[in-house]
Amino acid sequence: MTNILVTGSNGQVGSELRELAKEYEYTFFFTDRESLDITSKEDINNFVTQNNINVIINAAAYTAVDKAEEDEKNADKVNHLAVEFLAEIAKEKNIKLIHISTDYVFDGKNYKPYNEDDVTNPQGVYGKTKLDGEKALQEINPNNSIIIRTSWVYSSFGDNFVKTMLRLGKEKEQLGVIFDQVGTPTYAKYLAKAILDILPNVKNEKVAIYNYSNEGVLSWYDFAKEIMRMAKLDCQINPIETKEYPTPAKRPHYSLLNKSKIKEEFGILIPYWKDSLDECLQALGARK
């Protein structure tokens, strides 16, 4: 019997894992910050022992990118120290660990899609703490454990760009959206499905890193335009530069991820971003 602990189960990926759970022959234990404090090694250890956990999917993260700039201590607790504790327990108890990370570990100055072994250079607290979590996991090196870096995550659950655009598209006649940040959105449902599909085949002695996002390339402006088109919202989207929309945290200008490694090693197919967006809008009842 495979007993899977899912942390951060009320987040976007965690919620999608919960939706998919019935399709897989695993026993899931979905936890949030109220039911399991992952910043306490003792709490994790007790939970894992009591429930005979043999797989951990760490979908928990401090994802408030701008807030992290002034709340580094708490961001570090969740994105770094908690990962360290999970890795230590995974190693002690021979537990498989799947950890979700981010494109923010890069500086966004590349000119071609990032490979897993490209040089990291986070530009803000969020990216730095996520990279520190990655490094802790790699250093502790529990068997059969991987890191999956992803980007621009959205879902029918939680707060995200798609839902914000749908709301603003109904409220406003026009919106300015950034066109000089380029990457690929990730529908959390397909990231969650990829994790569960590759799970039985994760077998490695050294922590491996993989990239995952949907296929294609676009800007936030392109993304917003397509959301309005699919939802048939009469809101004009205007392209603006990053400098016209200053934020506390610096965003990567280029965060395209090369997915060749995960596709080749696990034989998975990754959907095109427009098809995934279409499906998410249908789930939200917003596709017209």
- The answer to the question of residue 241 being in a domain is no
36 CB-side CA count, 13 A = 27
Query: Which residues, 6 or more positions from 38, have their beta carbon under 8 angstroms from its beta carbon?
Result: 7, 44, 58, 60, 78, 82, 85, 86
Burial 152-191 (b: 16+ CB within 10 A, else e): bbbbbbbebbbbebbebbeeeeebebbbebbbbbbbbbbb
pLDDT digits 0-9 by tens, 88-116: 999 999 999 999 999 999 999 998 999 99
- The answer to the question of residue 272 being in a domain is no
pLDDT digits 0-9 by tens, 14-52: 999 999 999 999 999 999 999 999 999 999 999 999 999
What CA–CA distances, in Å, run from 151 to 56, 57, 141? 21, 18, 24
Instruction: Report pLDDT for 110.
Output: 92
Domain count, the chain: 1
Task: Share the mean pLDDT of the chain.
Answer: 96
- The answer to the question of residue 228 being in a domain is no
Tokens of 10: 């009320």
288: pLDDT strictly greater than 90:
no
- The answer to the question of residue 139 being in a domain is yes
287: pLDDT strictly greater than 80:
no
- The answer to the question of residue 288 being in a domain is no
- Determine the structural domain holding residue 74 and report its residue range: 3-159+184-214+255-266
Would you please indicate which residues are annotated as catalytic (active-site) residues?
126
118: pLDDT strictly greater than 90:
yes
- The answer to the question of residue 177 being in a domain is no
- The answer to the question of residue 281 being in a domain is no
- The answer to the question of residue 113 being in a domain is yes
- Tell me the C-alpha distance between 255 and 252, whole Å: 6
Q: CA 123 from chain center: how many Å?
A: 18
Q: What is the pTM of this model?
A: 0.96
**DSSP track, 153-209:** EE-SSSS-HHHHHHHHHHH-SEEEEE-S-EE--EEHHHHHHHHHHHGGG---SS-EE
Q: What is the CATH number of the domain that holds 146?
A: 3.40.50.720
